[in-house]
Amino acid sequence: MLLEGIETLLVLAEAKTMSKTGSLLFISQSAVSKRIHNLEKKIGKKLIEPQGRYVRLTDDAIALINSVGPTFNELRGQVYDQSTMDSNDLPLKVDCSETLISGYFSNLLASAIQLDRNIVLSTNHTPRIIENVKSGKVTMGLSAGYLPASIGLLMFHLFDEHFYIVSNKPLQTLPTQLITTDLSNSANSYQLGILDRLNIKPVMQLDSYHAATHLALSGAAAALIPLSIINGLCIEKSNIYYFSELDDLVRPVNICVRQKSYGMSRVKNLVQKLCEYSYDSNFPTK
């Protein structure tokens, strides 16, 4: 019962509503409320408060999640390791960075799905991808950005992706202000030091590279954009600028998978296909 309550609280923290949490857990909304109530009773603390149609986590709930969440996810991953996944009839879930699918791997993944119809793709930001692989929610992750030194997963480094400046106005020198992605994201925070060294101020930090690109092309400000987005959106060469000062600014692209999962032939075959991908880092020619 305690583990059910913790699992429900973790899902509720992401879903924000009782109804969506119930849908994700395949239980009724009343069952969600009951689980949270029982958890509150067990630990003697108030965990949620109503906020319109949403719920708000109390400080005690946030502290509990920060304390037990990583351990719970690791436990869930160990349970997942005991399951038998090496069957073509079971889903092989792959969590991916959206930019990597659109910019590089759409054809490769589509071909893989033709051979294995039970490959299921989802998209997420890199910290969530790592969390989902560690917990066993997905079998494999395809991530972009720097990762913690030790994450307890088997890692395959594919390549380092380069950045360019996208602008609708001619640029002769490196801009002093740029639209960037969300630099509070742990996978992107390394960019802050490099931009600071180059005396570049992040004028806007967006959750989406696609949004940043469209704003840049509309004239809001120049944007720092990875090559995958440039490829995916087929941006005209006249709007793309390369500066040698940005050579150190790259995004590592990695596959992450649980050690036991890699022993499954379906997983190993897909990893090998991705590792064979040939990355072209040259300046875009479109």
In angstroms, the CA 218 to CA 168 distance is 7
- How high is the mean pLDDT of the chain? 88
**Residue 1 confidence (pLDDT):** 66
Start-to-end CA span in the chain (Å): 58
* Residue 285 scores a pLDDT above 60: no
**176: its two tokens:** 């002093």
Contact 104, 226 (CB under 8 A): no
* Six-digit token string for 236: 């005209």
Contact 222, 179 (CB under 8 A): yes
| Structure confidence at residue 128 as a pLDDT band (50, 70, 90) | confident
pTM over 0.95: no
* Residues above pLDDT 70, as percent of the chain: 94
Q: How far is CA 242 from CA 167, 176, 248, in A?
A: 11, 15, 13
β-strand 92-96 against 140-144: which pairing, if any? parallel
Q: What pLDDT score was predicted for residue 222?
A: 97
Please check the confidence at residue 77 and state whether its pLDDT lies above 70. no
Q: Are strands 223-226 and 48-51 parallel, antiparallel or unpaired?
A: unpaired
Average of per-residue pLDDT across 171-187: 92
Confidence band (pLDDT; 50, 70, 90) for 16?
A: confident
- Under the banding of pLDDT at 50, 70 and 90, the label for residue 229 is very high
Helix axes 106-115, 265-275, angle to 10 degrees: 150
Question: How crowded is residue 165: how many other Cβ atoms within 10 Å of its Cβ?
Answer: 19
Give the pair of three-digit tokens for residue 175.
Answer: 């801009």
Q: Is the pLDDT of residue 206 over 90?
A: yes
User: For a pLDDT cut of 90, what percent of the chain falls above it?
Assistant: 51
Average pLDDT over residues 233-239: 93
pLDDT band at 136 (very low <50, low <70, confident <90, very high): confident
The yes-or-no verdict on residue 79 having pLDDT over 70 is no
Angle between helices 2-15 and 59-81 (to 10 degrees): 110
The b/e string for 150-159 (b: 16+ C-beta within 10 A; e otherwise) is: eeebbebebb
Q: What is the mean pLDDT of residues 220-237?
A: 94
> pLDDT-based confidence at 166, cuts 50/70/90?
very high
For residue 276, what is the DSSP state?
T
At 233, the amino acid letter reads: L
Q: What is the pLDDT of residue 197?
A: 94
